[in-house]
Structure formats: structure tokens, C-alpha cells
């Protein structure tokens, strides 16, 4: 009993701390490391949503997923340069068509965004400027002088249009992931000239004006092939290859859909969603307390803890919240209530059968668990399908619903159960009297 009561107290403390973290940004005395805001989508914060059609007709089926992944990486780099926080960039299938969806919260200059996103990715090779030494470059790198590092290089004639392909390779001796480059005939001659003139010096590979690698030339390379090694992990090397290939052979994209939502409309939508959630929780709380008395109050406390933990999780991951996502979260609260009701009804049946509170609670949870498990698992399966196959807004709904379902099961099976276990009484007559009054059991 005391173990359950201590654990119940810890759950309450955890809920209070999570709740404070959820609203910490509104207090002036809150430490900076706790002042983390929720990530809001364009429909709540205001912003733009752009959908592009990618022309992959000239790309073999086996290479389309890699090409689209490379396109996504390049567009993400462009958006980051645009200064957008928490952009959403996704590749989706619409029948046989490949689509690229870009959501930029807090951005309202549509024409500029379209210009930046729609430009053709540009791959180029650059060498150190005349008069810049390797020591000068090293000092700038040590000082993290990013602008100084960029200003140390100058373009050559070798660009992505001379690159036939990039390959993911492995060093058979060290088992290190490396990147192989193959140039066409003209690119082979240019690369041979560059490597001959820069032995012992770095040749920087730039993608969209950003250096993605600075390998040092060890010898003249005349065969039009090169290997870049840089202690890459397998995923880093794979991403590097995608970027190189996409820079050399960009996937043409065309804008087919554009949506804009003003900041005022976004704030108004957010306020309406928060009011709906608040009124919904109040209504559910009153229902539980009116029909289930003390256990209903316990369920309300468990739901408040659940809500605090879920919002904390949304902040920490972070999850990009949209109106549909918040709707999914509110729906998961209703499912948590449904689980509690099943448990309470089962427990009341056991109490009416003359069992003690401790036995009734255990039997109630045991008998209700199968129904709760089956209903929640089926909902989780639906959420997974919607997340992978649905549109952007549907995916947001499915994500928050799925996470909410998992947490709601924790709330019903763990938190509520712990609180009920903490209500044991030493005097059985006192227990029956209190439970008749507070639980409604005869």
C-alpha cells in the first residue's frame, strides 16, 4: 500500500514538473534552457505550403527513391539558408507521381521562397585562392570562421555537369565508407589539371554554395576517377552520394500547389483549438466525477498527468503541431477516458460481487485489459497506415494520435491503477462504507 502511495506521489510530482515545462516560456523567471516553444505549422503560426511535382520519368525505377531523397536534402539545405526554423520537407507518392511538399512556418514572402526552392541545385569544385596557405585555412577552421573559410576558395571550371556519377564504396582494409567519383571525358581532363596543380592542397566540393567536403589531393588523378575518404559513417556517405548525384543530375520540379496563411489567421486558429481542447477536458472531467465519483476524480488527475507528459513529449521530440495534429491529440484524450471507463465498470462489478477493493481493482484491470489492448492496437495500426500513406495534414493527425494512444495506455494501466491501489483501507467495514459513498458500488 505504502509503495503504491509513494509511486502515486511521484506521478503527481512528475505531472507538475511536466506541466511547468509546458508553460515555462510564459514566465520571466524561467531559466533559458527550459524556455522551449512548441513547433507550430503554417496553419497555426502562419506561413506557406508548397507542393511540387517531380519529373522522374527519365530515371530508372530502382534509382527514383535515391534521387528523390537527394532532392529533398538539397531543398532542405536551401531552406536552411533561407533562415526558416523547423521546416517540413517531405517526399510523397500521389499515384504514379513523385511529389515534394515544403511547409515553411513564419514565412510570408512566397515569391522569394519559390525562387530559392525552385532553382537548379549547383555542384562545383573550388581550389584555394592564390596567396591563401593551408595554414591560413586551418586557422580559420579552428576559429570556426565559416565566412573566412568560404572566402578562401575560388571556383574552377569543373562543375556537376561533368560528373557522371558518385558511388558508395568501402575500403576493404579499413572497412571505412568512402565516396567514389566518375567524370566524363571533359571532366576527366579538368580534374587531372586541378589535381596536378593542387597536390597537398584541399579541393573543396560545394553544393549550392556550401562546402560538403574538402579532401586533400595526394597525387595527380588522370583516369577521371577519385575516392573521397573522410571517416564517413555509412549513412553520411550515402547522403553524400545522393547529394553529388542530385547535384549533377537534378530532378526537375514544377510547382503545382501553393497555400498561404496569414499570421493573424494562424493565431486565431490556434486559440480556437486551445479553447476546444480546454472545454473538452472540462466536460470529460465533469462527466467522470459525476458518474464515477472518487475513481472519476482519480481518472481526471491521471488524464491531467497524461496531458502534461504528452505536451512535454511534443516539445522535446519536437513534433510539428498543426490543427489536424492537435485534433489527433484531443481524440487520444477521449480514448484514454474510454479505457478508464472500461476499468471502472469492471471494478464496480467486482465490488458488487463482495470482493475487497484491492481484489476488485486487480480483477477490474485484468478483465478490462484485453478490450483496451485490442481497441488501442487497432487504432495504432490505423495511425501507422495514415502516417505513411496520408497527406501532410493527415500524417500530422496520425502521429499525434498514435503517440497519444501509447501514452493514454500508460495513463490508464499504470497511473490510474497506482492511484486506485493507494486507496486501500485497513478496516473492511470502513472501506465498504466509503466505497458505497464515493464509488457508487452497492
Q: What would the pLDDT profile of 258-273 be if each residue is shown by its tens digit?
A: 887 766 666 777 788 7
C-alpha 136/C-alpha 67 separation (Å) is 37
The bridge status of strand 39-40 relative to strand 320-321 is parallel
Half-sphere exposure of 290 (CA within 13 A, CB side): 6
The 10 Å Cβ neighbour count of residue 126 is 20
Give phi and psi for 143, each to the nearest 5: -85, 0
Residue located via cell numbers 476524480: 297
C-alpha 227/C-alpha 177 separation (Å) is 10
Give how far Cα 214 sits from Cα of 29, 96, 145, Å: 45, 39, 15
Q: Across-strand partners of 205?
A: 125, 213
Q: Across-strand partners of 227?
A: 180
DSSP string, 389-422: HS-HHHHHHHHHHHHHHHHHHHIIIIIIHHHHHT
DSSP string, 114-133: HHHHHSPP-EEEEEEPTT--
Mean pLDDT of the chain: 79
Give how far Cα 38 sits from Cα of 22, 45, 245, 274, 309, Å: 9, 10, 36, 13, 14
What is the number of residues in the chain? 442
Average pLDDT, integer, range 336-345: 81
Place 175 in a pLDDT band, splitting at 50, 70 and 90.
Answer: confident
All domains of the chain, ordered by start, with CATH?
2-39+262-438 (1.20.1640.10), 47-120+252-260 (3.30.70.3400), 123-248 (3.30.1360.200)
- The helix or strand, by DSSP H or E, that contains position 206, with its residue range, turns out to be strand 203-207
C-alpha 89/C-alpha 77 separation (Å) is 11
Q: Is the dihedral of CA 283, 286, 289, 295 positive or negative?
A: positive
- pLDDT of 355 above 60: yes
- pTM comes to 0.60
Give the residue with greater pLDDT, 359 vs 439. Answer: 359
Place 194 in a pLDDT band, splitting at 50, 70 and 90.
Answer: very high
DSSP string, 167-230: EEEE-TTT--EEEEEEE-HHHHHHHHHHHHHTBTSBEEEEETTEEEE-PBB-S---SSEEEEEE
Q: Which of 392, 235, 262 is nearest to 323 (CA)?
A: 392
C-alpha 435/C-alpha 405 separation (Å) is 30
Cα of first residue to Cα of last residue in the chain, in angstroms, is: 24
Q: Which long-range contacts (CB under 8 A, 24 or more apart) does 426-432 make?
A: 428/356, 431/356, 431/357
Angle between helices 61-82 and 234-248 (to 10 degrees): 90
Q: Across-strand partners of 199?
A: 217
Q: Is the dihedral of CA 402, 407, 412, 413 positive or negative?
A: positive
Q: Which of 242, 246, 247, 241 is nearest to 181 (CA)?
A: 241
- pLDDT of 229 above 80: no
Q: Are 8 and 419 in contact, with CB atoms under 8 Å apart?
A: yes
C-alpha 433/C-alpha 28 separation (Å) is 49
Q: Are 340 and 372 in contact, with CB atoms under 8 Å apart?
A: no
Place 85 in a pLDDT band, splitting at 50, 70 and 90.
Answer: low
Q: Which of 102-116, 166-180, 427-441 has the lowest mean pLDDT?
A: 427-441
Q: What would the pLDDT profile of 359-413 be if each residue is shown by its tens digit?
A: 877 888 888 888 888 888 888 998 888 888 776 667 778 888 888 888 888 777 7
Most confident range, picked from 158-172, 181-195, 357-371, 419-433: 181-195
Q: What is the pLDDT of residue 193?
A: 92
Amino acid at each position: 500500500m505504502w509503495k503504491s502511495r509513494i509511486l502515486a506521489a511521484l506521478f503527481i510530482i512528475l505531472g507538475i514538473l511536466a506541466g511547468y515545462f509546458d508553460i515555462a516560456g510564459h514566465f520571466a523567471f524561467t531559466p533559458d534552457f527550459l524556455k522551449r516553444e512548441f513547433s507550430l505549422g503554417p496553419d497555426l503560426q502562419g506561413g506557406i505550403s508548397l507542393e511540387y511535382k517531380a519529373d522522374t520519368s527519365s530515371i530508372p525505377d530502382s534509382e527514383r527513391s535515391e534521387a528523390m531523397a537527394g532532392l529533398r536534402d538539397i531543398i532542405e539545405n536551401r531552406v536552411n539558408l533561407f533562415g526558416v526554423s523547423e521546416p517540413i520537407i517531405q517526399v510523397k507518392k500521389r499515384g504514379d507521381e513523385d511529389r515534394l511538399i515544403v511547409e515553411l512556418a513564419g514565412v510570408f514572402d512566397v515569391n522569394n521562397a519559390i525562387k530559392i526552392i525552385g532553382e537548379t541545385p549547383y555542384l562545383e569544385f573550388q581550389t584555394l585562392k592564390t596567396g591563401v596557405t593551408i595554414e591560413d585555412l586551418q586557422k580559420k577552421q579552428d576559429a570556426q570562421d565559416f565566412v573566412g573559410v568560404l572566402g578562401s576558395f575560388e571556383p574552377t571550371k569543373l562543375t556537376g555537369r561533368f560528373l557522371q556519377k558518385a558511388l558508395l564504396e568501402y575500403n576493404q582494409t579499413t572497412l571505412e565508407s568512402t565516396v567514389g567519383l566518375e567524370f566524363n571525358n571533359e571532366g576527366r581532363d579538368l580534374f587531372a589539371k586541378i589535381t596536378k596543380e593542387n597536390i597537398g592542397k584541399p579541393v573543396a566540393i560545394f553544393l549550392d554554395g556550401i562546402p560538403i567536403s574538402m579532401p586533400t589531393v595526394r597525387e595527380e588523378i588522370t583516369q577521371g576517377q577519385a575516392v573521397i575518404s573522410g571517416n564517413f559513417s555509412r549513412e553520411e556517405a550515402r547522403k553524400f552520394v545522393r547529394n553529388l548525384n542530385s547535384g549533377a543530375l537534378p530532378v526537375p520540379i514544377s510547382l503545382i500547389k501553393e497555400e498561404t496563411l496569414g499570421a493573424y489567421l494562424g493565431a486565431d486558429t490556434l486559440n480556437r483549438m486551445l479553447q476546444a481542447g480546454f472545454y473538452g477536458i472540462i466536460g470529460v472531467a465533469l462527466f467522470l466525477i459525476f458518474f464515477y465519483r472518487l475513481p472519476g476524480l482519480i481518472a481526471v488527475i491521471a488524464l491531467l498527468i497524461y496531458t502534461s507528459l504528452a505536451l512535454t513529449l511534443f516539445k522535446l521530440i519536437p513534433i510539428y503541431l498543426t490543427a489536424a495534429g492537435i485534433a489527433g491529440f484531443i481524440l487520444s484524450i477521449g480514448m484514454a477516458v474510454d479505457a478508464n471507463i472500461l476499468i471502472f465498470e469492471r471494478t464496480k462489478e467486482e465490488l458488487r460481487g463482495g470482493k475487497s477493493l484491492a481484489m476488485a481493482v486487480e480483477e477490474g484491470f485484468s478483465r478490462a485489459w484485453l478490450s483496451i489492448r485490442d481497441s488501442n492496437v487497432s487504432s495504432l495500426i490505423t495511425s501507422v497506415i495514415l502516417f505513411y500513406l496520408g497527406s501532410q495534414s493527415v500524417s500530422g493527425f496520425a502521429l499525434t494520435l498514435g503517440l497519444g494512444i501509447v501514452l493514454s495506455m500508460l495513463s490508464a494501466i499504470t497511473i490510474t491503477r497506482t492511484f486506485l491501489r493507494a486507496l486501500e483501507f485497513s478496516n473492511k467495514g470502513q472501506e465498504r462504507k466509503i466505497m458505497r459513498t464515493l464509488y457508487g458500488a452497492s
